């Protein structure tokens, strides 16, 4: 059988109800709920909204077909009389050339579907529009003596009709853990638990959870998945991007309970508000979170078009539950959205001042630099500390007048010896490739950077202040942290290949006669760098992290005059790619030097006797001042770090100046096939036209989306929240409210909630509060035996929700239990531990995410919301637990159950370390016996009390582990070693005992009840 | 379907029956109740050559080009077709004939270049398609298209469709394994992305499982330090017992699935290292695959590992070998790539054949597009580069249901446009699914209201390559 989760099986009333939640046994056929889904799925492909593929000029998605006459003379539909209806004749015909759908069609009607269509015609063939395309109408709240809230009234009414008795309330501890994890992504703190269990004040508990900063972090996760937020650009190069300021905006907006209409307007069009605040500009990052390409050879317009289309898809999915993407290439097959209307929507997003292939730097235009709060003090401190250390250095240098004199004498001796290395300070360094950059470093070396080309020639222009006799050139290759693995080169292997080195005096080449080097790789001797063949050259092998050097000796000393132009060129022209020396320093041999060195600055000052420069040089070079220099350098680094951290960039939406960019319908959705010119507009079938007056821009669109008369926005939003708390939405397809989407299980409840939401001023916390305080949410999640068959997915809500935690909550609750969680809201992404080699295995072209280096400090233990999300290799412990990949909008929460998940929670250090510290904390209280200690651990994680049986199982395991670890104390040592090695905590007094308790922690962290709250 | 199977199982009211039944349900969760009896292939090895190998230098021999060295590519051939921005600005498009020698091989007389002597020797087992074409012109969209049937991210990969459709035949190993290797021809290569083996909108259990080249062969496979097998076993027993009592109290079928999955995880901890342990392979194996097969993470090692996984009934083994993107210095770079892949690819065919596995295993070798006949950058007597070329490329297939010793399709004298039997990526995928006993129009998954297919709304089975 072909998999088709949406397929309808009318096997029995019970299953019918389960799969078609809007219906219950014994009710008559209704067009909207029962007939339209069949027509949509089986017929619309040829007889639906898409004019391009429509057959026989017949469309079944509009009421007009009811009055149409077929060629046979029969009415297409004769209300009350299936036998006289061409529609029924055709679907039941045995003739291959008559029957519909045609026999070769993959989608055939089932006998039950034929019955439904027939029953509908028989019952009078009443027409209804698709439910979600007209605005919600306030339903009467059913009278229900038991119901404490309207939510429950609707649910109980349905259960009563089905003759199902709802489950009893869950015990308070179970409810508290459920609510806490759903609202904050973390279990409750022990104090919260104690207080709640003492007073059982549910409302106060919910209010406290909603007021916690953890609430915004929890809510942000789903929004980030919908907004396809990531910390890299995606596509081929997948470089880092800076969008975390937008992520923090989201957390803040949720925590401050920004009304959802405002939340919408600021994200879609904050830049178009009158005098927008920085915060409102940052909010528009929502529509810059899409992937941005940087592949060499990519065509700008092709990708710019993709971004515009991504914005339409995302906006339509998130706010309207519409699968607009289907209309990119042709009219929608199922919903009345035309291709033209798709591009009218695209026109709202098509006037951004952006480029196509722009995903190299941290941000692509348009972007914004903003202040990061909280750095003023740090900056002031760092500034003061730098000033103080500079002052100390100057003072000390002045005090060391004796040393200065000695130093000066020594340097003069070197100068006069006429045998020294003159470390060059080139007037100019450039590459033949225009994008190459060279950063001078204090030791007179240069760091090569920029867009690293495959081949290049680097040229140093040197001017001398007085005549020099040069006998040889020394080239040093030095390591740097910006180079591959801290090596000598930016190439993939960290090796370089110097094709040729040349000295040019006034443009005339002087080829060195001989060469020697400290290192050479086999077959690539340094002599190949002076052989005139650009393909051969000098290499030292990859992975070197200590400097190497080569000396190139001239045939005879070369006299260089201040008037001469001296150029040294380093050519990298072999067939190895990017085999450059990444950081180099060039010195000229004056005379026949051995070891002594002078820089050009120093040699000039010594000659001219400039005391100011000499004192400076003394400060920078004297060994006696090394310690103070180190302090000064460290202070300078801190200031630079603070300064860098005090600002961040973020991508935003900004309209182009001048006339708007024209938008065309694109043939087959392709950028290079522009057709008809269109203007911004909204789809007609929603029957909510834009005002005729005024301009039409994103702000118009945003306001239209949150117009209280909009049929979709409030329903779709309420439904997504319902999904967050019950695991499944009232509409099980939150991404599709169209005709192919599922029918709502409780249509009146959905409309009730949507209208309440709008009337409350789009108050999210108020809505959530009502959901979480409902009886439906409070019920026990135990599944009575007969309900497994009757309602396996709990669509009728006779029992409480039971769902596996989302990925971040699984990791975060482990960190919390282990006392490791660092709770700090916001900031740049962090890099917790992940298995080695994952980024490296797929890395290719030079990018800045080819190697993963884990944080060593608090970054290891922040909430998973802050983990750096690299699109091409997302964090595996998130992806394995069904997180969205963040390459495109995702609003449906998945939940699979796989062996690889078990391996994560058993073996990933993100879980085994918390297990260890969870155990260690549990041993803090020396007065507990085993049973009490086990019970305390259970309560910390699972909130309730373990049963006697559960305690017994744990005690037996504990005893066995004690025995085993006592027999093999070395294993206990290994098991507990991360405490001191990785966490710098004191080693345990009794490793055997700690190891045994660590096993208990591992058991608890892996329980089904831990992963799927009861 | 899983739900209903679980329901039936629970109807029997026995927790003890768990092992076989729940797991069976789980493994078969997909979709097709059983593979079609017409299925020729049970398993797939996909040797993806990432970066796009040059068809002109490997298989698509154009001897007449030698006389046209450095002539401009006639406009009548280029027909104004779009180029990448890496060469669209070039002043001219000078023809670069391959510098490699071609000869005919086997009874079928296939033309193969001197770069692939081992592969040439098994030509009678291969079916070359010289008329492959695709839509994208850059790597990211093109390899995404090859692997998922769409240029933009978000669709399930081929292997995940197969896992979804056919399930697994080995409950101790993943159904879909991914092996990544790096070419010696061009270390500075095209990167890969998790989406190429991702499950898109299919349940995430169908995503490919990477066998890694360093550390644990599968993510998180090894116990933390200090945890012995016996100690872990003790914990698994305790977890199962506690989960059992949780199930008794709450009755959630998912709890039973979790118990089964923890057991499978434990079995994987043995079965994965066992599959990856080559120490029992005789010297003759390494003679066949070459000495590189001893080097973990190499393409040769992965070819051998693929055979071992296939022997253990892994459904889909996907190799990616990086480094085929030869924009400049093609002769040097492609030599390295061929040195990496020629012998092991041929060895895999020979080995599978010797073991009788080639009869029901499908082997595919190819990249995301072809390369241009004109030189990118400088053209000299012994050096040239080639840009991306989506309009034609060569791919070969072998094994189950494939017409062996056959060449399908042809290109013009410039290996620029297809002249005979064009095969689109969707056609290829339709054919591969057909060989696996699946009608590509019927393997669907509903997402966003639409029944998605690997082949979108396209694809024709290529009858001409069926045996």
Q: State pLDDT tens for residues B101-142.
A: 999 999 999 999 999 999 999 999 999 999 999 999 999 999
- Quick check: A802 and B138 CB within 8 A? no
Q: What is the pLDDT of residue A1014?
A: 92
Q: Does A6 touch chain B (CB under 8 A)?
A: yes
**Predicted pLDDT at B137:** 93
Determine whether the interchain pair A837/B139 forms a contact, defined as Cβ–Cβ distance below 8 Å.
no
Residue B14, in any domain of the structure: no
- Closest partner CB to B441 (pick from A106, A317, A999): A106
Chain segment A962-987, per-residue pLDDT in tens: 999 999 999 999 999 999 999 999 99
CA distances from A947 to A862, A919, A944, B151 (A): 33, 20, 9, 54
What is the model's pLDDT at position A23? 43
Query: Using 50, 70 and 90 to split pLDDT, how confident is the model at A128?
Result: confident
Count of alpha carbons within 13 angstroms of residue A374, beta-carbon side: 7
In this prediction, residue B17 carries a pLDDT of 33
From the CA atom positions of chain B, what is the Rg in Å?
Answer: 24
Q: Which residues of B touch A967 (CB under 8 A)?
A: none
**What chain B residue is nearest to A974 in terms of C-alpha separation?**
B226
Mutate to test the interface with B, among A42, A43, A233, A297 (most CBs of B within 10 A): A297
Quote the pLDDT of residue B13: 32
Helix/strand/coil percentages in chain A, nearest 5: 45, 10, 45
In a domain, B443, yes or no: yes
In B337-438, at which residue ranges do the beta strands (DSSP E only) sit? 361-366, 370-375, 386-389, 393-399, 406-408, 410-411, 418-420, 423-424
Report chain B residues whose CB lies below 8 A from the CB of A953.
Answer: 238, 241-242, 245
* CB pairs < 8 Å spanning A and B: 326
Q: Which residue of B has its CA nearest to A294?
A: B140
Interface contact B444-A894, CB threshold 8 A: no
HEC string of A184-209? HCCCCCHHHHHHHHHHCCHHHHHHHH
Domain A420-593 has CATH 3.40.1000: no
Q: Please report whether residue B17 resides in a domain.
A: no
Q: The dihedral of CA A607, A608, A611, A614: what is its sign?
A: negative
- Given this model, what pLDDT does residue A2 score? 35
Model confidence at B22, in pLDDT bands (50, 70, 90)? very low
CATH number at residue B403: 3.40.720.10
Other residues' Cβ atoms within 10 Å of the Cβ of residue A622: 18
- The secondary structure element, H or E, covering residue B91 is none
Residue at B394 is within a domain: yes
CA distance to partner chain B, nearest, from residue A358 (Å)? 14
A71-75, B169-173, B254-258: least confident range: A71-75
Confidence of residue A61 (pLDDT cuts 50, 70, 90): confident
State pTM to two decimals.
Answer: 0.87
- Give the pLDDT band (50/70/90) at residue A436: confident
Task: Give me A313's structure tokens.
Answer: 């898809």
Q: What is the pLDDT of residues A254-292, one digit of tens each?
A: 999 999 999 999 999 999 999 999 999 999 999 999 999
Tens of pLDDT, residue by residue over A440-492, are 998 999 999 887 888 899 999 999 988 889 999 999 999 998 888 889 998 88
Question: Three-state SS for B156?
Answer: coil
Q: Over 90: is that where the pLDDT of A73 sits?
A: no
Segment A977-998 shows an average pLDDT of 94
Give domain status of residue B68, yes or no: yes
Asked if A961 reaches chain B (Cβ–Cβ under 8 Å), the answer is: yes
Task: Extract the tokens encoding A141.
Answer: 């709240």
pLDDT tens across B405-448, in order?
999 999 999 999 999 999 999 999 999 999 999 999 989 888 87
Mean pLDDT of chain A: 92
Check residue A13 and give its pLDDT: 35
In a domain? residue B254: no
- Domain-located, residue B259: no
Domains of chain B: total: 1
- Residues of chain B contacting A887 with CB distance shorter than 8 Å: 153-154, 195
- pLDDT value, residue A14: 35
Question: Structural domain of residue B161, as residue ranges?
Answer: 34-214+296-465
Check A782 against B250: CB less than 8 A apart. yes
pLDDT score of B294 more than 70: yes
Q: Which of residues 862-901 of A touch B (CB under 8 A)?
A: 871-874, 876-877, 879-880, 882, 885, 887-888, 894, 896-901
Mean pLDDT to the nearest integer, A683-706: 95
Half-sphere exposure of A814 (CA within 13 A, CB side): 32
Beta-carbon separation of B191 and A236 below 8 A: yes
Q: What is the pLDDT of residue A334?
A: 85
Specify the pLDDT at position A486. Answer: 86
The pLDDT of residue A27: 59
Question: Model ipTM?
Answer: 0.86
CA distance B51 to A732: 41
- Looking at the domain assignment, is residue B411 inside a domain? yes
Q: Where are the domains of chain A?
A: 13-129, 420-593, 805-880+897-1014
The mean pLDDT of A656-672, rounded to a whole number, is 94
Strands (E), A526-581: 548-560, 566-572
**What local confidence, expressed as pLDDT, does residue B34 receive?**
52
Q: Hey, is the C-beta of A291 within 8 angstroms of any chain B C-beta?
A: yes
**Whole-angstrom distance, CA of residue A163 vs CA of residue A174:** 27
């Amino acid at each position: 059988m072909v998999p088709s989760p949406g397929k309808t099986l009318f096997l029995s009333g019970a299953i019918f109800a389960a799969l078609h939640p809007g219906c219950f046994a014994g009710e008559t056929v209704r067009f909207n709920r029962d007939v339209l889904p069949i027509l949509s799925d089986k017929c619309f492909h040829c007889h639906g909204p898409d004019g391009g593929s429509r057959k026989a000029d017949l469309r079944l998605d509009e009421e007009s077909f009811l009055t149409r006459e077929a060629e046979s003379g029969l009415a297409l539909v004769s209300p009350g009389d299936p036998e006289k209806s061409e529609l029924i004749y055709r679907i039941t015909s045995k003739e291959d050339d008559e029957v519909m759908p045609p026999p070769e069609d993959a989608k055939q009607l089932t006998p039950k579907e034929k019955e439904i269509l027939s029953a509908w015609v028989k019952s009078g063939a009443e027409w209804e529009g698709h439910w979600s395309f007209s605005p919600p109408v306030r339903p009467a709240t059913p009278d229900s003596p038991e119901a404490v809230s309207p939510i429950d009234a609707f649910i109980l009414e349905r259960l009563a009709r089905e003759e199902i008795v709802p489950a009893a309330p869950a015990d308070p501890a179970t409810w508290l853990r459920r609510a806490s994890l759903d609202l904050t992504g973390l279990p409750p703190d022990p104090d919260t638990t104690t207080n709640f269990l003492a007073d059982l004040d549910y409302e106060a508990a919910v209010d406290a959870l909603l007021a916690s900063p953890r609430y915004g972090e929890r809510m942000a996760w789903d929004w980030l998945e919908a907004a396809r937020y990531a910390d890299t650009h995606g596509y081929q190069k997948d470089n880092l991007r800076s969008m975390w300021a937008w992520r923090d905006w989201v957390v803040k907006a949720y925590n401050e309970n920004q009304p959802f209409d405002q939340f919408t307007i600021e994200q879609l069009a904050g830049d178009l508000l009158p005098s927008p605040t920085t915060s409102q500009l940052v909010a528009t990052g929502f529509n810059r979170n899409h992937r941005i390409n940087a592949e060499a050879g990519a065509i700008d317009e092709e990708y710019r078009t993709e971004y515009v289309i991504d914005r339409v898809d995302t906006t339509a999915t998130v706010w309207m539950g519409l699968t607009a993407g289907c209309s990119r290439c042709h009219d929608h097959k199922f919903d009345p959205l035309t291709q033209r209307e798709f591009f009218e929507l695209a026109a709202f997003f098509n006037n951004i001042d952006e480029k196509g292939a722009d995903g190299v730097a941290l941000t692509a235009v348009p972007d914004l630099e903003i202040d990061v709060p909280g750095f003023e003090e740090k900056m002031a401190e760092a500034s003061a500390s730098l000033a103080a250390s500079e002052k100390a250095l100057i003072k000390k240098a002045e005090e060391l007048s004796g040393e200065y004199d000695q130093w000066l004498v020594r340097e003069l001796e070197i100068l006069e010896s006429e045998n020294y290395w003159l470390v060059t300070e080139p007037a100019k360094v450039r590459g033949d490739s225009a994008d190459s950059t060279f950063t001078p470093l204090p030791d007179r070396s240069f760091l090569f950077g920029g867009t690293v080309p495959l081949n290049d020639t680097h040229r140093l222009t040197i001017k001398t202040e007085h005549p020099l006799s040069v006998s040889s050139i020394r080239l040093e290759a030095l390591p740097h942290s910006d180079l591959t693995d801290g090596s000598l080169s930016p190439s993939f292997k960290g090796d370089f290949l110097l094709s040729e080195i040349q000295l040019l005096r006034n443009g005339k080449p002087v080829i060195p006669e001989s060469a020697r080097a400290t290192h050479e790789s086999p077959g690539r001797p340094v002599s190949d760098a002076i052989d005139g063949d650009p393909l051969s050259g000098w290499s030292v092998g990859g992975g070197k992290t200590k400097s190497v050097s080569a000396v190139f000796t001239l045939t005879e000393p070369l006299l260089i005059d201040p008037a001469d132009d001296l150029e040294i060129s380093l050519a990298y022209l072999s067939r190895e790619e990017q085999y450059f020396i990444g950081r180099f320093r060039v010195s000229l041999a004056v005379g026949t030097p051995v070891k002594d060195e002078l820089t050009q600055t120093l040699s000039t000052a010594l000659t001219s006797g400039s005391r100011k420069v000499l004192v400076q040089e003394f400060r920078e070079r004297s060994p006696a001042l090394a310690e103070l220099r180190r302090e000064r350098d460290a202070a300078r680094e801190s200031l630079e770090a603070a300064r860098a951290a005090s600002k961040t960039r973020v991508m935003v939406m900004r309209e182009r100046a001048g006339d708007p960019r024209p938008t065309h319908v694109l043939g087959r959705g392709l950028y290079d096939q522009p057709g008809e010119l269109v203007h911004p507009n909204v789809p007609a079938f929603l029957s909510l036209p834009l005002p005729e007056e005024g301009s039409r821009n994103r702000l118009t669109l945003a306001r239209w989306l949150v117009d209280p008369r909009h049929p979709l926005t409030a329903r779709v939003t309420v439904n997504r929240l319902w999904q967050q708390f019950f695991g499944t939405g009232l509409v099980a397809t939150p991404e599709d409210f169209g005709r192919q989407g599922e029918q709502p299980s409780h249509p009146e409840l959905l409309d009730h909630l949507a209208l309440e939401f709008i009337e409350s001023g789009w108050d999210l916390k108020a809505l959530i509060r009502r959901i979480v305080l409902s009886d439906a949410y409070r019920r026990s999640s135990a599944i009575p035996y007969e309900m497994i068959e009757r309602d396996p997915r709990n669509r009728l809500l006779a029992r409480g929700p039971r769902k596996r935690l989302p990925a971040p909550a699984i990791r975060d609750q482990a960190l919390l239990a282990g006392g490791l969680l660092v709770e700090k809201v916001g900031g740049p992404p962090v890099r917790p531990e992940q298995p080695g080699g994952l980024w490296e295995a797929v890395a290719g072209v030079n990018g800045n995410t080819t190697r993963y280096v884990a944080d060593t400090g608090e970054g290891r233990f922040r909430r998973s919301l802050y983990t750096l999300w690299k699109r091409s290799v997302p964090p595996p412990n998130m992806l394995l637990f069904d997180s969205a990949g963040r390459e495109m909008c995702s609003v449906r929460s998945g939940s699979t159950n796989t062996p690889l998940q078990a391996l994560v929670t058993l073996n990933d250090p993100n879980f085994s370390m918390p297990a260890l510290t969870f155990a260690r904390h549990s041993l803090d209280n020396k007065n507990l016996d085993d049973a009490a200690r086990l019970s305390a651990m259970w309560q910390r994680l699972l909130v309730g009390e373990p049963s006697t049986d559960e305690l017994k199982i744990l005690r037996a395991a504990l005893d066995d582990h004690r025995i085993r670890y006592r027999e093999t104390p070395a294993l206990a040592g290994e098991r507990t070693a991360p405490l001191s090695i990785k966490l710098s905590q004191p080693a345990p007094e009794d490793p055997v005992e700690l190891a045994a308790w660590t096993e208990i922690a591992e058991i608890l962290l892996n329980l089904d009840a831990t992963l799927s709250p009861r | 379907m899983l739900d209903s199977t679980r329901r039936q199982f629970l109807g029997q009211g026995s927790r003890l029956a768990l092992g076989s039944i729940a797991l069976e349900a789980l493994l078969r969760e997909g979709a097709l109740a059983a593979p079609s009896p017409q299925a020729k292939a049970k398993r797939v090895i996909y040797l993806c050559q990432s970066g796009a190998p040059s068809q002109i230098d490997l298989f698509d021999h154009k001897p007449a080009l030698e006389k046209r060295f450095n002539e401009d590519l006639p406009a009548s051939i280029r027909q104004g077709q779009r180029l990448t921005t890496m060469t669209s600005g070039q002043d001219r498009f000078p023809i670069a004939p391959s510098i490699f020698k071609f000869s005919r091989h086997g009874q079928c007389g296939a033309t193969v270049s001197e770069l692939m002597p081992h592969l040439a020797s098994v030509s009678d087992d291969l079916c070359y398609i010289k008329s492959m074409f695709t839509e994208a012109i850059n790597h990211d969209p093109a390899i995404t298209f090859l692997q998922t049937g769409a240029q933009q991210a978000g669709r399930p990969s081929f292997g995940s469709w197969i896992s979804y459709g056919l399930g697994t035949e080995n409950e101790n190993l993943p159904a879909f394994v991914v092996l990544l290797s790096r070419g010696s021809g061009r270390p500075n290569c095209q990167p890969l992305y998790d989406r190429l083996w991702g499950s898109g909108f299919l349940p995430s259990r169908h995503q490919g499982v990477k066998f890694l080249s360093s550390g644990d062969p599968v993510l998180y496979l090894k116990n933390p330090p200090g945890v012995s097998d016996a100690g872990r076993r003790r914990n698994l027993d305790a977890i199962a017992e506690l989960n059992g009592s949780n199930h008794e109290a709450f009755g959630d079928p998912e709890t039973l699935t979790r118990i089964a999955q923890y057991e499978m995880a434990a079995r994987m901890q043995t079965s994965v290292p066992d599959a990856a342990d080559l120490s029992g392979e005789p010297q003759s194996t390494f003679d066949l695959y070459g000495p590189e097969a001893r080097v973990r993470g190499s393409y040769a090692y992965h070819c051998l590992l693929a055979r071992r996984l296939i022997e253990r009934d892994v459904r889909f083994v996907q190799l990616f070998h990086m480094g085929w993107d030869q924009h400049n210095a093609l002769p040097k770079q492609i030599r390295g790539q061929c040195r990496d892949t020629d012998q092991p690819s041929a060895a895999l065919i020979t080995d599978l054949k010797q073991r009788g596995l080639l009869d029901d295993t499908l082997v595919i070798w190819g990249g995301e597009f072809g390369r241009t006949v004109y030189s990118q950058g400088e053209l000299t007597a012994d050096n040239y580069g080639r840009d991306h070329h989506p309009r034609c490329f060569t791919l070969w297939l072998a094994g189950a249901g494939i017409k062996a010793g056959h060449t399908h399709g042809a290109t013009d004298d410039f290996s620029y446009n297809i002249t005979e039997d064009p095969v689109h990526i969707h056609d290829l995928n339709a054919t591969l699914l057909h060989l696996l006993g699946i009608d590509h129009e019927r393997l669907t998954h509903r997402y966003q209201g639409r029944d998605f297919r690997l082949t979108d709304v396209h694809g024709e089975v290529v009858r001409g390559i069926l045996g």
